Amino acid sequence: MSEKTTTEETTYIQKVWQTVIIVALLVVFILIARVAFNVLLMVLAGALISLYFHGLGDVIQRNTKLNRWFSMFVSIAGTFLLIGSLFWFMGTKIQNQISILNDTLPNTINNVKLKLAETPTGLKVLNHLSGKNSEKLLNTAQHFFSTSFGVLGNLYIIILLGIFFTANPILYKNGMLKLVPKTKKMLFQAVIERIIHDLKGWLKATVISMVLITLLITIGLTIMGIPVALVLGLITGMLKLIPNFGSLVAMVPGILLGLTIGTNTAIITALIYVVSQMIVSSIVTPIIQEKIINLPPALTIVSQVIMGTLSGALGIILAVPLLVIVIILVDELYVKKITT
């Protein structure tokens, strides 16, 4: 009887240790997956940059009849030259407008607080945003816009990856094909081609929308006499990378600066943002519908929230292309298999 009890105790202890080891390995796996996920996001960002260079190279080759190598050189060098030229010629003006924005915005926020304090509803809003709620909001924002290696480090790695992928895309594509069984190579290649096609469409629509919204906001705010119109236009253009939330965030500084001139100016400024977004959507949406699969708006927002929680700003920016990839994989590997 004692030997049986001893055996049962030994078995129980073994099960406890097995459980502890499994839980420990699971925790380690989750931690590694968290870090690896951020790295995979940077790889995706690098691949998107490479797709942009190749897409622009295709346009140059098609319209100039240049050879492929020279078209790609013009695509990469032209992009960096254009960005450098913009900063060179507009750098001083942008710097001055940013200084004005830094000086003006705090006073504007204080004025808005004073106006809110004049009404009961405004007081409730101020009380809700003060104290612990304010600290929670600040901590959430800091986590929301944090990245694994820092913004500059991530950007450096992403640009390097983009250049390497652009220089020799066949090498990396063939490398992935070697990991796939021979019976699935044709399917894998078809999936990759579809992903590339849809992501090129998303990139095209995104670049067009960023340029258009920057021009429209800058021109509109300049006509209204809003200070730092150029900076506000550039901020709106950059935040266009983030569907849904980016447009809302971009409106805030413009409307606050409009309030420094008058309530009517603030209302017209808000209308400029809304109308500009509608114009851009009416031009870009048909391009998206032609080039990529139709993404449900609710699913897009949910993916952005999840990705923002997991990986900060980089996750929010890449939520849509990642969602496109996931939907294509599900469609090609699961849905079509069931229906056929």
**pLDDT tens digits for 97-113?**
666 666 666 666 666 66
Non-local (6+) Cβ contacts of 224 within 8 A are 258, 265, 268, 269, 272
Average pLDDT of 207-226? 88
Report, in this order, helix, strand and coil percent for the chain, each rounded to 5: 90, 0, 10
The mean per-residue pLDDT over the stretch 291-302 comes to 69
* CA separation for the pair 292, 19 (Å, rounded): 46
Q: b/e for 303-313, b at 16 or more Cβ within 10 A? A: bbeebbeebbb
Which of 89-98, 270-279, 318-327 has the largest mean confidence?
270-279
Q: Say if residue 149's pLDDT is above 50.
A: no
Tokens representing 23? Answer: 């839980």
Which of the 8 DSSP states describes residue 117? T
CA end-to-end span of the chain: 61
Q: What angle do CA 77, 78, 84 make, to 5 degrees?
A: 90
Q: Token digits for 110?
A: 């204080």
Residue 248 pLDDT: 82
For residue 287, pLDDT over 70 is answered with no
- Alpha-carbon separation of residue 232 from 50, 98, 107, 183 (angstroms): 28, 9, 17, 53
Between residues 336 and 196, the one the model is more confident about: 196
Distance CA 15, CA 11 (A): 6
Identify the band that residue 243 occupies on the pLDDT scale cut at 50, 70 and 90.
Answer: confident
Burial of 227 by CB count in 10 Å (0-12 exposed, 13-18 middle, 19+ buried)? Answer: middle
Least confident of 154-163, 207-216, 220-229, 328-337: 328-337
Q: How confident is the model at residue 123 (pLDDT cuts 50, 70, 90)?
A: low
Do residues 332 and 191 make contact, with C-beta atoms less than 8 angstroms apart? yes
Percent of the chain topping pLDDT 90: 3
Nearest to 326 by CA among 303, 306, 309, 305: 303
Q: What is the DSSP letter of 335?
A: I
Burial group, residue 234, by CB count within 10 angstroms (0-12, 13-18, 19+):
buried
Confidence class for position 95, pLDDT limits 50, 70, 90: low
Q: Give the pLDDT of residue 216.
A: 92
145: pLDDT confidence band, cut at 50, 70 and 90? very low
Whether 6 shows a pLDDT value over 60: the answer reads no
More confident residue, 245 or 193: 193
Q: Lowest-confidence range among 14-23, 45-54, 170-179, 189-198? A: 14-23
The answer, as to whether pTM is greater than 0.75, is: no
Mean per-residue pLDDT, 153-168: 78
Q: What value does the CA radius of gyration of the chain take, rounded to a whole number of Å?
A: 26
Q: Which of the four pLDDT bands, split at 50, 70 and 90, describes residue 31?
A: low
Are the beta carbons of 217 and 228 closer than 8 angstroms?
A: no
Q: How confident is the model over 258-267, as a mean pLDDT?
A: 80
Is pLDDT at 247 greater than 70 in this prediction? Answer: yes
